[in-house]
Amino acid sequence: MTVATKTKVHNYSAGPCILPREVFEKAAQAVLDFEGSGLSILEISHRSKPFEAVMAKAQSLVKELLGAPDNYQVVFLGGGASLGFHMVPLNYMKLGGKSAYANTGEWATRAVKESKLVGDTIVVASSEDKNFSYIPKGYAIPSDADYFHFTSNNTIFGTQYRQLPKSPVPLICDMSSDIFSRPVNVADFALIYGGAQKNMGPAGATMYLFDPERLGHTGRKLSPMLDLKNHGAKESMYNTPPVFAVYVSMLTMEWMKSVGGVVEMEKRNAAKAKLLYDAIDRLPLFKGTTAAEDRSVMNATFVMSDAALEPAFDVMWKEAGISGIRGHRSVGGYRASMYNALPIESVQALVDVMEEFAKKHG
């Protein structure tokens, strides 16, 4: 085996994560001189015509790539999806009403906690009983709930909804870590939201894609900063948006469109995931940590059958120029995050290391 040198870093970071090289190059140029203006993208006014065009393009690309209905709106806000956890019940749970949630991991747990601060919150499905190692199935969503919320992909535990749920009530999804990785039927959702720092751009922006007709019916008076309807009406410009994060997100979405959109992303992601999971299943030194049918295409989690071998394995993958595959501090083991911009060559580099290690220690 020829091990990759450190001049090539294979970035498996769970987020902020790898983005396309051409996006970095364009963003770097814009930091120095944005579109020949003599000003940096970091210093231009968010009210300037050039940035208004950037925002409009970013909003348009979200809808185009996901095939959203014409009436849906897109806003980019700060605060991360963690702020979104609180904004969701404020904007969708009626006074005296209730919400329904599926709890499939750390971020879903936090979303449930935020909803409970606002009103009656029912957890209708949970995989906490087996340390979030699977996606619950066969549960009923109450028809009198104001909405049903789920997390499509669980970065820490490595599970993913392979089939998105159908709901008798408005469907809301935190898609922070798998948005743009596969086609979805946006019309099925009242709201899709997620932090940009996985498949879309750098940390600092959260995207909300929603049907404005589903808003404003809670009977609750909201701060304008927490009111999605207000942000939609102001076209994401109620206050200063995260300018640079929106710009880089726009560049990333342009890249996605240029290579074939989410259909092509789905094809590439499936190939990467198959390559790595096949190695995990084939090599006895490695073992997957989630139910096979619920494995995440974005975040592959695995452990070693003999934990005492971890230090030696760590040395080998670091020497191969691989970065960011240690598991989340709360679960240990390993996590390989294979977001849209990670090339399959990087996955092959990891598989090569795993196979070489297995030959030496198997």
Note the pLDDT tens digit of each residue in 220-248.
999 999 999 999 999 999 999 999 999 99
Per-residue pLDDT, averaged over 210-224, amounts to 97
Q: In the block, which residue shows the tokens 């579109």? A: 35
Identify the band that residue 310 occupies on the pLDDT scale cut at 50, 70 and 90: very high
The contacts of residue 24 (CB under 8 Å, 6+ apart) are none
pLDDT of residue 2: 43
**Within-domain flag for 8:** no
CATH number, domain at 240?
Answer: 3.40.640.10
Per-residue pLDDT, averaged over 126-140, amounts to 97
- Which two tokens mark 6? 């450190």
Q: Is 174 a catalytic residue?
A: yes
**Within-domain flag for 14:** no
pLDDT of residue 294: 98
Q: Is 107 a catalytic residue?
A: yes
Pairing of strands 206-210, 191-195: antiparallel
The CA distance from 159 to 163, in Å, is 12
pLDDT of residue 195: 97
Dihedral sign for Cα atoms in the order 156, 158, 164, 168? negative
**Co-location of 247 and 268 in the same domain:** no
Per-residue pLDDT, averaged over 197-217, amounts to 97
Buried b (16+ CB within 10 A) or exposed e, 165-187: bebebbbbbbbbbbbbbbebebe
Q: In the block, which residue shows the tokens 């751009």? A: 201
Q: Are the CB atoms for 104 and 136 separated by under 8 Å?
A: yes
The CA distance from 42 to 29, in Å, is 11
Q: How many domains does the chain have?
A: 2
User: Is the pTM for the entire model greater than 0.85?
Assistant: yes
Buried b (16+ CB within 10 A) or exposed e, 79-111: bbbebbbbbbbbbbbeeebbbbbbbbbbbbbbb
The C-alpha angle 281, 285, 289, rounded to 5 degrees, equals 55
Residue 141 predicted with pLDDT over 50: yes
Residue 252 predicted with pLDDT over 70: yes
Domain boundary among 232, 258, 284: 258
Q: Is 255 a catalytic residue?
A: no
Pairing of strands 191-195, 171-174: parallel
**Co-location of 248 and 273 in the same domain:** no
**Co-location of 208 and 323 in the same domain:** no
Which of 26, 146, 178, 198 does the annotation list as catalytic? Answer: 198
The CA distance from 101 to 329, in Å, is 25
Domain boundary among 240, 258, 276: 258
- Cα of 62 vs its chain's centroid, Å: 14
Residue 251 predicted with pLDDT over 60: yes
Dihedral sign for Cα atoms in the order 161, 166, 151, 346? positive
Q: Are the CB atoms for 163 and 117 separated by under 8 Å?
A: no
**Co-location of 220 and 340 in the same domain:** no
Query: Strand, coil or helix: what is 327?
Result: coil
pLDDT of residue 197: 97
CATH number, domain at 304?
Answer: 3.90.1150.10
**Co-location of 318 and 196 in the same domain:** no
pLDDT digits 0-9 by tens, 62-95: 999 999 999 999 999 999 999 999 999 999 999 9
**Co-location of 120 and 190 in the same domain:** yes
Identify the band that residue 330 occupies on the pLDDT scale cut at 50, 70 and 90: confident
Domain boundary among 223, 258, 293: 258
- Which two tokens mark 1? 């085996």
**Within-domain flag for 1:** no
**Within-domain flag for 43:** yes
| Structural domain of 305 | 261-361
Residue 6 predicted with pLDDT over 60: no
Q: Are the CB atoms for 123 and 149 separated by under 8 Å?
A: no
**Co-location of 94 and 228 in the same domain:** yes
Query: Strand, coil or helix: what is 1?
Result: coil
pLDDT of residue 87: 98
**Co-location of 237 and 349 in the same domain:** no
| Neighbour tally for 220: CB within 10 Å | 18
Q: In the block, which residue shows the tokens 């970035």? A: 11
**Helix H or strand E encompassing 233:** helix 228-233
Q: Which of 120, 61, 41 is nearest to 252 (CA)?
A: 61
**Co-location of 178 and 253 in the same domain:** yes
- List % helix, strand, coil for the chain (3-state, nearest 5): 40, 15, 45
Residue 361 predicted with pLDDT over 90: yes
The contacts of residue 17 (CB under 8 Å, 6+ apart) are 11, 197, 198, 199, 337, 339, 341
- Average pLDDT of the chain to the nearest whole number: 96
Residue 1 predicted with pLDDT over 80: no
**Within-domain flag for 16:** no
Task: Specify the amino acid at residue 93.
Answer: M
**Co-location of 174 and 319 in the same domain:** no
**Co-location of 165 and 29 in the same domain:** yes
Q: Which of 118, 193, 190, 131 is nearest to 159 (CA)?
A: 131
- Which two tokens mark 310? 């971890």
**Within-domain flag for 13:** no
Angle, helix 243-258 to helix 21-32, in steps of 10 degrees: 140
Range scoring the smallest mean pLDDT among 1-15, 37-51, 310-324: 1-15
**Within-domain flag for 19:** no
Which of 26, 146, 174, 317 does the annotation list as catalytic? Answer: 174
The contacts of residue 351 (CB under 8 Å, 6+ apart) are 275, 276, 279
Identify the band that residue 7 occupies on the pLDDT scale cut at 50, 70 and 90: low
Residue 165 predicted with pLDDT over 80: yes
- Which two tokens mark 182? 């596969």
Per-residue pLDDT, averaged over 149-161, amounts to 97
Residue 46 predicted with pLDDT over 70: yes
**Co-location of 211 and 335 in the same domain:** no
**Within-domain flag for 12:** no
